[in-house]
Amino acid sequence: MAYWERAPDPRLEEYVERISFSTDPAGEPSAPIRVVPDGRIDLLTSVALSGSGRADVFGVKTAALWARSECAVANVAVSFRPGGAAALLNVSADSLTDRAVPVREILGMECAARLVEPRDLGARGALLEAELLARLPAVAPDAERLARAAVARIERVAGRIRIVKLARELGVGERRLERSFRAQVGIGPKAFARIARFRAAWRALERGGAAVEVALSRGYFDQAHLVRDFRAFAGDAPRRIFPSRAAGSAVSVEP
């Protein structure tokens, strides 16, 4: 499989993190790929060599899923920044959580068909951008600005913040923060912070960090706490996912 990505049109940067492209030319089903939670919503368009295509929106994940291609396909995907999908697709993000929803149910049949027409990946990416640019809101509502500020704060500290403190810093009550965050991002701020911490630990383990050291440096109580989060979000323990990183350690880390 070939994979590459690029930044979106500058006018979309507040809402879209990246646009990615991938091709799997094999006629046989591809090996499954573990996809772990990252707090993002994605729009994926896939066109098979046969010409059939589909477009789906994947909501925020709270557990890992396995993805695989059953035939030769060419994919273009938009990864939204937290809150971006709610604004551009005019949908409540928590209605998508842990779901794959056909684009036709959100943007209509005509739009869904149009998004999978181009066989050329560059043309399909440009069409997706044009569709999203046409949906840019004139003014961000208060709930969107609040959620965006909360996301930025959580990610800046890699999830290591108490939500009561976060709400106080933003000058709102916890209930208001929870409601706005769920509608814009898809999950509550506490769950998002937990995923942000997990992602920071994942990256540290990918770089070769030892499980015990990663656990303590990323805000876990101990290694067992780290393993519980990996089992919840990645479906396995760290040493099963990164066996070479867990050498000499009683714990395993896996996404």
pLDDT for 248 equals 36
Q: Which of 86, 109, 133 is the last residue of a domain?
A: 133
Strand boundaries in the chain, DSSP class E: 2-6, 16-24, 33-35, 42-48, 53-58, 65-67, 73-80, 100-102
Evaluate whether residue 254 is within a structural domain. Answer: no
Q: Are residues 129 and 35 part of one domain?
A: yes
Q: Are residues 118 and 195 part of one domain?
A: no
Of the candidates 43, 140, 132, 138, the one whose C-alpha atom is nearest the C-alpha of residue 96 is 43
Q: Which of 99, 133, 167 is the last residue of a domain?
A: 133
Q: Tens place of pLDDT for every residue, the chain, 255 residues?
A: 789 999 999 999 999 999 999 988 766 666 788 999 999 999 999 998 888 899 999 999 999 999 877 788 899 999 999 999 999 999 999 999 999 999 999 999 999 999 999 989 999 999 999 999 999 998 888 999 999 999 999 999 999 999 999 999 999 999 999 999 999 999 999 999 999 999 999 999 999 999 999 999 999 999 999 999 999 999 999 999 988 654 433 332 332
Looking at the structure of the chain, the number of domains it has is 2
Spatial separation of the C-alpha atoms in residues 236 and 40, rounded to whole Å: 21
Residues of the domain holding 152: 142-246
Q: Are 114 and 128 in contact (CB under 8 A)?
A: no
Q: Are residues 153 and 236 part of one domain?
A: yes
Q: Are 54 and 45 in contact (CB under 8 A)?
A: yes
Q: Are 52 and 107 in contact (CB under 8 A)?
A: no
Q: Are residues 149 and 101 part of one domain?
A: no
